[in-house]
Structure 1
Amino acid sequence: MAYLMLDADRLPALPPATPAAVPAIDDQPAARLTGLEWSVVALARKDALSSLRRPGRMASALGALFRQPHNPMLADERLEALRRIAVFAWHYGYTIPSAELTRFLNAGFSPAQYELMTDSIGVARRKTMGARR
């Protein structure tokens, strides 16, 4: 048979919690994207998955010959990493290739910014799906 001591006076005193022992919620900055970054996410909604591949020499030559639409790739590597991951998120939701996530994080974005963007795209996708029904 087990015995449970319920007398609080007999329990050993615990040291009081110090501010250093308790992580503060406000220490981490809120995840945010700039207006330019949000516009890249919005424009990525219309980009096809084929926009993620670099055109080959033949495709470039035919594009120059027949004046095909411009290449949607961005010159800024950071914004291009954002565009690429946003295209995947618009098409596949939260299923993002790990190489693209690594590229996104190496471009200087945080995991919190990734979650903010994908959650925002997820809400927009659900609204679009609900409107189709």
Structure 2
Amino acid sequence: MVYLPWNDMAEGGAAGVAATIAIDAEADFTALEWQVIHLARQDALASLHARGRWAWLYRLFNGERSTPELASDRLEILRQVAVEAWYRGYALHPARIAAFLSSGFTDNHLERLLATISAVRGSPKARSFA
């Protein structure tokens, strides 16, 4: 049976072992990329698909909806992976992972993105002041 010594956990603080994990400096996102990741939390899964044939009818009755698609292909792939990770956690579609890796990101980027989102995922989106 494997166990962790209590004194090592106490030195790590409330996070315990998480403080001892080395973070790869290469896998760090820029400030703009972090902003895209956090903004993707408000996007719906439907934003990952192209508009359907009935979109014109929806726009006729409800007005024009803004599209969350980004101009940069690299940032758009990051947004798509982040949206899917906010909703599905680690269960990403393999084609989306392949597109993420082919756009210049590494496996370490993907691991850091998924770990960050899964750590925040359970927290509420807005604070209640009631």
Alignment TM-score, normalising by the size of structure 1: 0.69
Q: 1:54 aligns with which of 50, 58, 74?
A: 50
Q: 1:80 aligns with which of 76, 81, 106?
A: 76
| Distance (Å, rounded) in 1 between the aligned partners of 2:56 and 2:74 | 24
| Distance (Å, rounded) in 2 between the aligned partners of 1:34 and 1:64 | 39
Q: Which moved more, 1:62-71 or 1:111-120?
A: 62-71
Alpha carbons of structure 1 residues 92 and 56: separation in structure 2 relative to 1, 3 Å: same
Give the number of aligned pairs. 103
Superposed displacement of residue 122, structure 1: 0.6
Give the alignment of 1:62-73 within 5 angstroms: 62-63=58-59, 66-73=62-69
Alpha carbons of structure 1 residues 60 and 112: separation in structure 2 relative to 1, 3 Å: farther
Percent identity between the two aligned chains: 38
**2:37 matched residue in structure 1:** 41
Superposed displacement of residue 75, structure 1: 1.4
| Distance (Å, rounded) in 2 between the aligned partners of 1:122 and 1:40 | 16
| Distance (Å, rounded) in 2 between the aligned partners of 1:83 and 1:98 | 16
Question: What are the ranges of 5 or more consecutive residues in structure 2 without an aligned counterpart?
Answer: 1-23
Q: 1:97 aligns with which of 93, 105, 121?
A: 93
Question: What are the ranges of 5 or more consecutive residues in structure 1 without an aligned counterpart?
Answer: 1-27
After TM superposition, the runs of 4+ consecutive aligned structure 1 residues lying more than 3 A away are: none
**Aligned to 1:56, what secondary structure does the other structure show?**
coil
| Distance (Å, rounded) in 1 between the aligned partners of 2:56 and 2:30 | 33
Superposed displacement of residue 60, structure 1: 4.2
Give the structure with higher Rg (CA): 1
